Chains A and B, each alone.
Chain A
Amino acid sequence: MGYISEESLDFIPLKLLEMGCLPGAEVQLVQIAPLKDPLYICVNGSHLAIRKETASKIKILKANI
C-alpha cells in the first residue's frame, strides 16, 4: 500500500494515467506473478497488471510517511 508521488508524473505512460494511475492516488499491490513479474496492482478502483519495467519508473511513497 502506498501513494504515487507527484514527481512521477512525467514517467507514467499516458495509457496508465488514463487507466487511473494518477499522482497522489493510492496503490495497493495485490499480487506478484509467480515468476516475479508482472505485478498485479489496484489503483483508483482499477485492477491492473503491469510489468516491473514500467512499475520501476513510478515512485511510490509509503502510506505512513
Chain B
Amino acid sequence: MPKNDIKVALIGNPNTGKTSLFNQLTGLNQKVGNYPGVTVDKKEGTSRLTSSQNALITDLPGTYSINPTSIDESIVLKTLLKKDIKESPDVILVVADVENLKRNLLLFSQIKDLEIPTVLAINMVDQMTKKGITINLSALEKELNTEVVLISARKNQGIDKVKAAIIRCHVAAKASPLCGINSKIDPDYFSKLKEISPNYSLYELWLMVTQNNYPDTVSKEEKEKLLAFKKDISKLKKYQHKETIYRYQEINKILKKTYIIDKSKATDVRAKLDKVFTHKIFGYAIFFLILLVIFQSVFDLATVPMDFIDGIFAELSDFVRGKLAPGVFTDLLAEGIIPGIGGVIIFIPQIAILFLFIAILEETGYMSRVVFLMDRIMRRFGMNGKSIIPLISGTACAIPAIMATRTISSWKERLITILVTPFTTCSARLPVYAILIALIIPNKKIFGFLNLQGLVLLSLYGLGFATAIIAAYILHKTLKIKSKSFFVIEMPNYKIPSLKNVIFDVIEKTKAFVFGAGKIILALSIILWFLASNGPEAYKNAQKNTIENSANKNLNEDDLNQKIAAVKLENSYIGIMGKAIEPAIKPLGYDWKIGIALITSFAAREVFIGTLATIYSVGSDDEDTATIKEKMRSEVNLETGGSRFNFPVGMSLMVFYAFAMQCMATFAIVKRETNSWKWPLIQLFGMALLAYVSSFIVYQILS
C-alpha cells in the first residue's frame, strides 16, 4: 500500500447496502483474508478517488452499535479504538439506510463522538419518493456537523460524490463530537473519566471502560485508573442505558427538523410476503421446497461441467505423457500435478452453484425469515435460529459456515453449532458420494419421475443434517456451559437481489475455497505421487522378480506390465502404509488401496478421489482416456473375484465419509474460532469414532 492512500473504514448497520457500496467503490480490487492461518477478518479494497489519489477501504462487519454483542461486532470496536498510525482509519464512511435513518444515526452518533473525520452516506435514496420520504440535506448536514451524501449504491448513483466527500473530509481533518453526550448524564463522573488521559476523547475512554477493551497505546497507569471505573458495574450499565436514550432524544430532535416521512405512502407488500413466508404450514413448506430445489439443481446442473472437467484433465494427462519424453518429471506432471489440480477444479461448479443460492437467499432478506421460523426448533437442540445459516452454508463448505457462527452471541449455542456443522454434507463429500453412487446405485427412475441416484444423494444430505441435530442435542444435554442466550434479529425488507453483490459473493467464497483448500490438495497430490512411485528394496526389485516369477506362465506383454505395476504399488511406501492399516479397516469392507485413500483424505475428503486416481493410474499406466469412475468400476476384489466397489463397500464408505471429519482446513478453523485445541480434538475423535462404528455396522449388515 502506498503511503499516501487515504485509509477509509466503511461502517454501517446490517442491511443498509454497505456491501453494495463497497463493491461499487472498489470493483474487483478486493481481497479477503479469511482462511486458516490468516487471522485478518476484514475485507479490504482499493478505490481510485482521483487520478492521483487512492483510498484503501476496509469493509467492517455490519453492526447496530459500537458496543459489541458478538465477535463479529467486536472487530469494529477494536479497529476504531486503535491509535496506531498505520492501522487506524483516516476517514470513517458511515452508510445509513434512508428508511431506517433514525436507528442508523445511533451508530453514526457514537462514531462521531470518537472524534475521527466522518462522512455520512445515506443509501437507497431512489426509494425516497416511493416511501414518501423528504430530507432537507443542508439542514441535516448542519445539524450533524458532517458532510452528508445521498446515494443509491445499487444503481451506482452518487458514488463520485462519496469519493469527493472522502477527499474533502480527509483534507479538512475536522472532527467534533456530535452529542458531547456523556457529560450530561453525570458531569462529575465523566469529567473525572476525561482527566485520566488527554490522548483520547471522552467517548473513547468510556468505551474502553464499558467494553473492557484497552488498546496497546494505553499506559499502565491510565489502565489502572480506567479499571477503577469498572468497580460499580450497575452504575456503568445504567449510564449506558441513559446514554442510548439520550442519543435517541438528540437524533429525534435533529430528524424532526430535517426528515419527513409520509406514512400513507407505505406499502404492505412486506406484510403480505411475511404472512406467507412465516406461515405455520406454508412457511416450512416453502423452506423445504427451496432446499429441495437447491440440492436437486446442484446435482443436476453441476454434473455436466464436472464430467467435462474430469474428461479434460484425463486427456491432458495423456497428452502430456504422449508429448514429453518419459522420465520422472513427466510422471510427476501427468500422475501427480495434473490430476491434483483437476481434483480441485472439479469442485468449482458445485461450490459456485451452492453459494449462488445462499447468496440470493441472504440478499433477498428471506434468510432472516428462516432464522425466525427455525429459532424455536433449533433452541430445543441447544442452538439458535441463526445456526441455520451455518448449517445450510455447511452444505457448500464448513469453513465459511463455521466463520458464519460469529454472529451468534451465546457462546454455548455458537460452540454447539461449530461442533456439529461438519456433519452437514459439504461439497467436498459430493464427489465422493457422486462417484460411489454412480458405481453402486443404478441410474433408474422410480415412480416414473424420481431419479434413484438423486434420491440416495438426498438421503445422504438428510443423514448429515439429522446427525448434526442429534449430536447438537447430545451436546446440549452434556455440555455444562453457563452462557446467557440472547436473541434478536432484524427482519429486513424484501429486496430483489443485486446481481453484482451475488456474483462478488460467489467469487469471493469460491476463491477462498480453491486457494485455501487447493494448496493442501495440490501439495498432497505431489507427496502421494512420490510415495506411490518410490519404495524400499522390494519395490526396486519388483520388475525383475515379477518377470522371473511369471517366466513359465505364458503371460502376454500387457498382462505382465500390469502385474509389474501392481507389485510395484504394493511395495511402494504408500502401499506399505495402506497395508499397515488394512487389518483395522477390513471389517469395514476396505482393502489397503482404499486404506491409502482414507489416510490421505484426512487432508480433505475430495482427495479420496484424487488418491484413487493416482493409485489406479499408477496401477495400470496403459490406459488412454479412462476416467476415474471407469477405473474404479473395473477394480476387482481379489478375494471374491467380484467388483471391489460393490454395494456393501460403497454404502460403508459413504457412511464413513458422512461422519468422519476428514478435513484439515476445518480442524484448523475450529481451532482458531474456539481458540483452543480441546474442541477441535474432541470433534475430530468423536466424529472418527462414530464413522468407524457406523461403517462397521453398515458393512456387516449388508454383506
Partners in one complex: yes
For window 32-65 of chain A, which residues contact chain B by CB distance below 8 Å? 33-38, 40, 44-51, 54
Answer whether residue B495 sits at the interface, using C-beta atoms and an 8 A cutoff. no
Nearest-Cβ distance from residue A52 to partner chain B, whole angstroms? 9
Residue among A49, A50, A54 with max Cβ neighbours from chain B (10 Å): A49
Residues of A within 8 A of B67 (CB): 14-15, 18
Do B244 and A18 have beta carbons less than 8 Å apart? yes
Counting contact residues on chain B (CB < 8 A from A), the size range is 35 or more
Given A36-B376, A44-B102; A49-B248 close (CB under 8 Å): no
Do B376 and A33 have beta carbons less than 8 Å apart? yes
Do B274 and A30 have beta carbons less than 8 Å apart? yes
- Minimum CB distance partner of A39 in chain B: B372
Query: Bound state CA distance, A53 and B646, in angstroms?
Result: 53
Query: Bound state CA distance, A19 and B99, in angstroms?
Result: 14
Do B371 and A49 have beta carbons less than 8 Å apart? yes
From B103, B373, B488, A50 is in contact (CB under 8 Å) with B488
Query: Bound state CA distance, A34 and B371, in angstroms?
Result: 12
Query: Bound state CA distance, A15 and B486, in angstroms?
Result: 10
Answer whether residue B280 sits at the interface, using C-beta atoms and an 8 A cutoff. yes
For window 106-134 of chain B, which residues contact chain A by CB distance below 8 Å? 106
Query: Bound state CA distance, A33 and B83, in angstroms?
Result: 45
Answer whether residue A20 sits at the interface, using C-beta atoms and an 8 A cutoff. yes
Q: What 8 additional pairs, Cβ within 8 angstroms, besides A49-B385, A51-B487, A54-B488?
A: A12-B241, A17-B241, A18-B64, A19-B490, A22-B244, A31-B275, A38-B385, A44-B102
Do A46 and B245 have beta carbons less than 8 Å apart? no
Which 4 interchain pairs have the tightest Cβ spacing? A34-B280, A35-B376, A47-B491, A18-B65
Chain A 7-24: CB-based contact to B (< 8 A → 1; otherwise 0) = 001101111111110110
Query: Bound state CA distance, A51 and B490, in angstroms?
Result: 12
Residue among B271, B490, B491 with max Cβ neighbours from chain A (10 Å): B491
Nearest-Cβ distance from residue A47 to partner chain B, whole angstroms? 4
Query: Bound state CA distance, A34 and B385, in angstroms?
Result: 13
- Minimum CB distance partner of B245 in chain A: A22
A-B contact pairs, 18 of them (CB 8 A): A9-B241, A9-B245, A13-B486, A14-B65, A14-B240, A19-B488, A31-B275, A31-B278, A34-B376, A38-B375, A46-B103, A47-B493, A49-B368, A49-B371, A49-B375, A49-B385, A49-B488, A51-B487
Answer whether residue B446 sits at the interface, using C-beta atoms and an 8 A cutoff. no
Given A33-B373, A38-B376, A46-B490; A15-B64 close (CB under 8 Å): yes
**Size of interface on A: residues with Cβ below 8 Å to B:** 31
Do A19 and B278 have beta carbons less than 8 Å apart? no
Answer whether residue B69 sits at the interface, using C-beta atoms and an 8 A cutoff. yes
Partner-B contacts on A (CB < 8 A): 9-10, 12-20, 22-23, 30-31, 33-38, 40, 44-51, 54
Residues of A within 8 A of B552 (CB): none
From A23, A45, A51, B245 is in contact (CB under 8 Å) with A23
Query: Bound state CA distance, A45 and B97, in angstroms?
Result: 12
Query: Bound state CA distance, A47 and B274, in angstroms?
Result: 11
Do A34 and B284 have beta carbons less than 8 Å apart? yes
Answer whether residue B377 sits at the interface, using C-beta atoms and an 8 A cutoff. yes
For window 213-250 of chain B, which residues contact chain A by CB distance below 8 Å? 237-238, 240-241, 244-245, 248
- Minimum CB distance partner of B238 in chain A: A10
From B69, B373, B375, B376, A15 is in contact (CB under 8 Å) with B69
Do B65 and A33 have beta carbons less than 8 Å apart? no
Answer whether residue B492 sits at the interface, using C-beta atoms and an 8 A cutoff. yes
Answer whether residue B283 sits at the interface, using C-beta atoms and an 8 A cutoff. yes
Nearest-Cβ distance from residue A36 to partner chain B, whole angstroms? 7
Answer whether residue B489 sits at the interface, using C-beta atoms and an 8 A cutoff. yes
Given A18-B67, A22-B248; A49-B241 close (CB under 8 Å): no
Query: Bound state CA distance, A20 and B271, in angstroms?
Result: 20
Chain B 366-402: CB-based contact to A (< 8 A → 1; otherwise 0) = 0010011101110000000100000000000000000
Do A45 and B375 have beta carbons less than 8 Å apart? no
- Minimum CB distance partner of B67 in chain A: A14
Residues of B within 8 A of A35 (CB): 376-377
Answer whether residue B4 sits at the interface, using C-beta atoms and an 8 A cutoff. no
Given A40-B274, A49-B375; A16-B488 close (CB under 8 Å): yes
- Minimum CB distance partner of B368 in chain A: A49
Do A45 and B102 have beta carbons less than 8 Å apart? yes
Do A47 and B492 have beta carbons less than 8 Å apart? yes
Query: Bound state CA distance, A45 and B106, in angstroms?
Result: 13
Residues of A within 8 A of B238 (CB): 10
Residues of A within 8 A of B489 (CB): 48-49
Residues of B within 8 A of A15 (CB): 64-65, 67, 69, 486, 488
Residues of B within 8 A of A34 (CB): 278-280, 283-284, 373, 376
